[in-house]
Structure 1
Amino acid sequence: MSRTRGRIALLWGGFLAAHAIVAVLGWVLPSQPMGDVVLVYLPWSSSALGGGAVVGLTEAWVYPQLALAPMLIAQLLAVPFMSLLGAEGAYLVGWAALATLCDLLGFAALVGNGRTRRRRTAAWFWTAALLLLGPIALYRIDAVTVPLAVAGGLWLAQRPRVGAAVLTIGAWIKVWPGALVLAALAVGRRAGQVALLAASVTAAIAVILLMLGAGENLLGFLTAQTGRGLQIEAVAATPFLWLAVAGLATIDYSFDILTYQITAPEADAVSALLTPLMVLVVGLIVALGVLRARRGAAWQRLLPPLALALIAALIVTNKVGSPQFQTWLIVPVMLWIVFDRPRARTAVVLVLMLCALTFAVYPLTYDELLAADFWAVLIVTVRNILLVALLVHALRVVLRVPGAAAATETTRRSVAADRPTERPRGR
């Protein structure tokens, strides 16, 4: 027991230390990695509290409406630090505290009693990914959805209705946790219950938002980004970045959506094609998951790679390439480690490499990237190639998941090998 407690203490200590390091790095690294928190989250929440415009209700917004909730909570957590740090500094501390608290709750759901090797391995993977990705993993709204997705994804195994409800709430903060709901429906993990709970939670949230005056802005987050251009870090922007290196394209700042975009011939056409392409690819992946499930693939083996394929597809086919998108990949890989650890190794390596390369891009070489520097563009290119490779790998695994009989035997062996390392002692 003492050895198990030591392992658990080390896990928690490492996770807390990683958060402290990442939080501090946000203050000292270039390119303002915590910039969105003070430049957009603070004004949005201050406006709502001060009687001004309420994003998502009185005006269209790029996020689902529940994303405003953590921004408001951070305002409350910032109050004790106002006199010492001022409004912006206090809000940064409040946001970091909120994101850390959410992660700790998700970590508790993951680690449990700490006696299984799979969950300990997944916990160390989360810690490593957090450190390698850097401040962007903490100072974005996505940081709040990651622990929700972790807990919801794990609960799909034992409490699918609770898991579906948590994931749906997460999707009303940032859309991507909905991919885990789609994966659960595709693999047939109590699909009826999952669908009913997801629909019920969505309906309840929609009714409340309409009562609060959302009106035509209710689903504005689905249409707000349709007219935007091709962001420089998006996978599809990679060829245009090399044109920028050659002086045949430019990188310009959009004040409408507060990001840098490609200005080049055909860039707008590529941007316009990406959204329908995303819908098509996601639909095909879901159909593939349904087909594999109907052919007897066990849901424990099928759910993690299918969820990873869906989330990777959301990133690869996106006209936006925000660095915080890499946090989405952490969740399905953790689920993969917990449900099917022996076959998760390649995904673990790829995602950790993606986190490190993304950190190298933003914030470390972002200024050079804006100047179309050769080496900065090369780093982004390698990162984007690895994203495509991750998508291909996840799809290959989905295609190779065996039927129920073979999967049951391999899963039994995996679970047997993963039993608690502490054996009961005789009296």
Structure 2
Amino acid sequence: MGMEAAPVPAPATPRAEPGALRRAAYSPLSLWIAFLAVHLIVAGLALDQGKGLGDVFLVYKPWAQLAAQGTQIVGVNSDWVYPFGAIVPIMLPLLFGSDGYVWGWLNLVTLLNAAAFAVLIVGREPRRMIAAWWWLAFLLLLGPIAVGRLDAVSASLAIVGLLWLTLHERAAVVVLTAATWIKVWPAAILLAAVVALRSRWHIVLVAVVTSAVIAAVPLIFGAGWHLLSFITMQTDRGLQIEAPVSTIWMWQAAFHVPGAEVYYDRQLLTFQVSGQGTAAAGSLMNPLFALTAIVVTLIGVRAVRRGTPYTRILPELSLALVTAFIAFNKVGSPQYVVWLAAPVVIGLAYQGRGFRIPAILVLVTAGLTQVFYPFLYDWLLVPDPAMVAVLTVRNLMYFVILGWTVAALWRKRHRQEAAGDLVPAHAWPFHSAPGAHAEPVGGDPR
């Protein structure tokens, strides 16, 4: 587990002269070349037959056009499945024109990822360079869905927020709160920060004020209860085929059990599964997630009380809560895997090799997801037993990741065991101090 690995020293200059491969790996030029190559490959795959960008040109673009015309602003004069803040990244690609909306979307995601990538690698701290390579591998393994949904926008913001958290807390919380108003899941990272850091009430205050400012915009234009419609629209939907809870009925459908079948919900534009007991299972998901989130949060509080440093609690608790959000979600869309990137990036930045196990598990989860989505997705709709088997293994990975994080949080770990953890000294444009370097954990920064 995270604490069992030997800490990685992070001196500015290694004892031995690094080899050519190591120098190349730590070179910003190499990283930026790799960044460009990965995004070109992933974008190219997404553009192939448009399978990775269906929501972009079939759903996002019409929403943006209606809002630009003043005909209908989702979340203001109609219910919407997303929080109101999502309208901003959805409308920005219109700057490229209606015909260029898809290119505008890909450019938006690439620019946001580039900004997060720059924040990550500036300072050239070895652990953050490794985290950068990990993120690129993650994007490549996950494939088109990594850039084809709103989750990509919230993920890049979450990475920036986590990197800023110990350098400029107010800016970090504003970014994380804004990400939450695009997709709800970054709220799990905010909760983890409240538990892990001593300045928890300041975090809550900044998040509340930021939320109030964001919510004031649609309310001024008469949104009313439409502002919170994303909550009720999620609770009323059925079981999406990719969700872990749907696995048993997907197997029934694969073997033609009467009553079990895959169908298309035309209102929500998703493929769902029907069968005996699906309604009851769907109604249990929110309570199960709430219970799991409470238990995991209490385990995090226990870790704080036992003196576990925040460099251990923050990434592990963030990953646990985000994974629970997916594991007990009746939607379970392929793009949800994107959520796992931010906790792993900060875990690698803080702990180095100590976070390698969850980093590998998340890479495997991403790779398994691309096996069935988007190019072989039709086989899952049949559903083909072999593809359902891949989906089953992918869904089991969520529980493996959740189990690892909970076990890591539960262990009694003393401060000296985390002596090799490092707190970033730079995260553009913020610095902890002039000429500062990443330093071992010696206490809570707050």
Q: When the two structures are superposed, what TM-score results if normalisation uses the length of structure 1?
A: 0.91
Residue 178 of structure 2 corresponds to residue 158 of structure 1:
no
The alpha-carbon deviation at position 165 of structure 1 amounts to 1.1
Q: How far, CA to CA, are the matches of 1:358 and 1:4 in structure 2? A: 30
Residues 29, 363 of structure 1: 8 Å contact kept = no
Relative contact order, higher structure (CA 8 A, sep 6+): 2
> Is residue 155–residue 342 contact of structure 2 (8 Å, CA) maintained in 1?
yes
Does the alignment pair 1:360 with 2:371? yes
Quote how far apart the aligned CAs of 1:401 are.
Answer: 5.5
In structure 2, which of residues 388, 397, 401 is the aligned counterpart of residue 377 of structure 1? 388
SS for the counterpart of 1:219 is: helix
Name the CA distance, whole Å, in 1 between partners of 2:122 and 2:206.
25
Q: Equivalent residue for 2:193?
A: 184
Residue type at the aligned position of 2:216? V
- Are 1:393 and 2:404 matched, yes or no? yes
Deviation (angstroms), 1:220: 1.1
Equivalent residues of 2:64, 2:87 under 8 A apart = yes
> Among 62, 73, 86, which residue is 2:81 paired with?
62
Amino acid at match of 2:31: L
CA contact (8 A) 1:23 1:96 kept: yes
> How many residue pairs align between the two structures?
405
Q: Which stretches in structure 2 are left out of the alignment for 5+ residues?
A: 1-12, 14-19, 426-436, 439-446
**Counterparts of 2:421 and 2:141 in 1: how far apart (Å)?**
31
2:17 corresponds to: none
Instruction: Write the distance in 2 (CA, Å) between the matches of 1:95 and 1:27.
Output: 12
Structure-to-structure mapping, 1:1-400, within 5 angstroms: 7-28=27-48, 32-76=51-95, 78-79=96-97, 87=99, 90-114=100-124, 116-248=125-257, 249-400=260-411
Partner-residue secondary structure (3-state), 2:273: strand
C-alpha contact (below 8 Å) 1:160/1:190 kept by paired residues: no
Q: Which has the higher helix share?
A: 1
Task: Measure the CA separation in 1 of the matches of 2:137 and 2:421.
Answer: 26
User: Structure 1: 5+ residue runs without aligned partners?
Assistant: 421-427
Mapped contact 2:239–2:278 kept (Cα < 8 A): yes
Closer, same or farther: CA 396–5 of 1 in aligned 2, 3 Å: closer
3-state SS of paired residue (2:107)? helix
CA distance in 1, matches of 2:423, 2:78: 55
Q: 1:413 to 1:176 in 2, by over 3 A?
A: closer
Q: Which amino acid aligns with 2:222?
A: G
The CA distance in 1 between the partners of 2:346 and 2:158, in whole Å, is 10
Distance 1:414 1:281 in 2: 31
Identity %: 40
CA distance in structure 1 between the aligned counterparts of 2:28 and 2:421, rounded to whole angstroms: 25
Equivalent residue letter for 2:357: T
Task: Kindly indicate whether the alpha-carbon contact (under 8 Å) linking 1:301 and 1:401 is maintained by their aligned counterparts in 2.
Answer: no
Amino acid at match of 2:64: S
In structure 2, C-alpha distance between the alignment counterparts of 1:6 and 1:399, rounded to whole Å: 34
Q: Deviations over 1:265-314 (max 9, x none)?
A: 00111011101111121122112111211221110111101100000000
Report if aligned partners of 1:186, 1:287 keep a CA contact under 8 Å in 2: no
Q: 1:207 to 1:273 in 2, by over 3 A?
A: same
Question: Quick one: distance in 2 between partners of 1:198 and 1:291?
Answer: 24
Letter in 1 for 2:347: W
Segment drifting more, 323-332 vs 205-214 = 205-214
> Structure 1 pair 170/401, CA: closer, same or farther in 2 (3 Å)?
farther
In structure 2, distance between residues paired with 1:125 and 1:19: 14
Quick one: distance in 2 between partners of 1:412 and 1:375? Answer: 44
In structure 1, what is the Cα distance between the partners aligned to 2:83 and 2:368?
Answer: 29
CA gap 1:412/1:275 in 2 versus in 1, 3 angstroms: closer
Report the alpha carbon displacement of residue 410 of structure 1 after superposing the two structures with TM: 4.0
Deviation at 1:344, TM superposition (A): 0.8
Distance 1:366 1:267, change over 3 A: same
- Separation in 2, partners of 1:280, 1:384: 20
Q: Provide, for residues 378-398 of structure 1, a one-character-per-residue CA deviation record: whole Å limited to 9, x for no partner.
A: 100010111110110111111
Over the aligned positions, Cα root-mean-square deviation in angstroms equals: 2.0
CA distance 1:207–1:316, shift in 2 (3 Å)? same
TM (norm. structure 2) is 0.87
* Cα distance in 2 for residues equivalent to 1:195 and 1:246: 49
**Which residue type is aligned with residue 358 of structure 2?**
A
Match of 2:373, SS state, is helix
Cα deviation digits, residues 32-74 of structure 1 (max 9, x gap): 1110000000000000001211100000101000101011111
**Rounded Cα–Cα distance in structure 2 between residues aligned with 1:255 and 1:414:** 47
In 1, are the aligned partners of 2:138 and 2:363 still within 8 Å (CA)? yes
